Amino acid sequence: MVDEHLTQLGQQSEAPSSPEGAILDAVPNPTTDLDYLIRFTCPEFTSICPVTGQPDFAHLVIDYVPSEHIVESKSLKLYLGSFRNHGAFHEACTTMIGKKLVEVLQPKWLRIGGYWYPRGGIPIDVFFQTGEPIQGVWLPDQGVPPYRGRG
């Protein structure tokens, strides 16, 4: 059954032109009787450098323990894609995504790892977390090795 309040699932959806114009849909958590981890991996995230206008690339890993709601994955995909023409530093993009998910979902716990490819020869990794991990929930490593270039 599709929630009647969903704005994108099951219908033609235009790609949002900016993160501010994107909508994240939340659906009821089907398993509220236990704590568990949900992971989304976005290995081809892109945004724009606000200084040079050149594209920036990252591998994002989002982990969260839901409360009453989970994010609808199509809306998350469109939200993340809305950064493609968004000019912001790595730190701003990573934390903006984490804060938006917290605002919409009000999860019990959330973390996001932004593993950015080098800009100016230096890779920048950005991490945001809402607090201590939930006891008893399996929390796997994010699995993204440090950037090593060709060596």
For 97-134, write each residue's pLDDT tens digit.
999 999 999 999 999 999 999 988 889 999 999 999 99
Which of 13, 4, 3 shows the shortest CA–CA distance to 82?
13
Is there a domain that residue 74 lies in?
yes
Is there a domain that residue 16 lies in?
no
Confidence of residue 1 (pLDDT cuts 50, 70, 90): very low
12-20: average pLDDT = 83
Is there a domain that residue 98 lies in?
yes
Q: Which of 49, 93, 125, 141 is catalytic?
A: 49
30-51: average pLDDT = 97
Q: What is the pLDDT of residue 37?
A: 98
CA distances from 131 to 4, 33, 107, 109, 111 (A): 33, 21, 11, 7, 9
Q: What is the pLDDT of residue 98?
A: 98
User: Residue 74: which CATH number?
Assistant: 3.30.1130.10
- pLDDT of 75 > 60? The answer is yes
Active site residue 42: no
Average pLDDT over the chain, rounded to an integer: 91
Q: What is the pLDDT of residue 119?
A: 81
Helices 90-105 and 73-81, axial angle in degrees (round to 10): 150
Q: Which of 42, 56, 63, 93 is catalytic?
A: 56
3-state SS assignment for residue 2: coil
Active site residue 56: yes
Higher pLDDT, 107 or 147: 107
Is there a domain that residue 146 lies in?
no
The answer to whether 60 touches 45, Cβ cutoff 8 Å, is yes
Give the residue numbers spanning the domain of 81. Answer: 21-105+114-129
